[in-house]
Amino acid sequence: MIPKATDLDPFKNELEAGWEHMLRHQLPALPPVESFWDALPEFFAWLERGLAPEIPASYAAAPGEMILRERTLCLPIAPILQSHLEVIRFAAANRLCVDLNYQGSTRRIELYSLRRTKDDNIVLHAWNINSDAHRSYRIDRI
């Protein structure tokens, strides 16, 4: 039997009461509980349709570009950039968007991969929510 959004109604008060306590320590920015409830109709409609979400095609690697997969990165960058990278990695692992300050403006991005170019630059590949397009960002310019 496929669950329905109304199945959660008896637990709504309990969930809202524990929202901050249960999640605040896990996320750098906890969204309001209303955003959870607002997303549920789309989720349950997806369950009822039984269709898998479309998986976007991966970004092709440029010649000489290598995906960085190390669990611990020790990159030749300033400590403040290393700190930014940890936030980025957390967001990527938890499928969160990030507001990225890059060359004087802020972009909201969905993270995709971290790569090293043949010129030894570290590049962050992401989907720019504002422009609705793939973009890449050199981490030394963040």
Chain segment 17-31, per-residue pLDDT in tens: 999 888 888 777 888
Cα R_g (the chain), whole angstroms: 19
- The structural domains of the chain, with segments of one domain joined by +, span 5-49, 66-141
Phi-psi region of 79 (alpha: psi -120 to 50; beta: other; left: phi over 0): alpha
Q: Is the pLDDT of residue 73 over 60?
A: no
* pLDDT tens sequence across 46-58: 888 877 667 767 7
Backbone angles phi, psi at 16, to 5 degrees: -65, -35
> Could you tell me the two tokens for 24?
């605040």
Rounded Cα distance, 69 and 89, in Å: 11
pTM to 2 decimal places: 0.50
Q: In whole angstroms, what is the distance from residue 132 CA to residue 15 CA? A: 33
Q: How far is CA 98 from CA 45, 57, 107, in A?
A: 27, 21, 8
Percent of the chain with pLDDT over 90: 15
1-13 burial string, b = 16+ CB within 10 Å, else e? eeeeeeeeeeeee
pLDDT of residue 77 exceeding 60, the answer is no
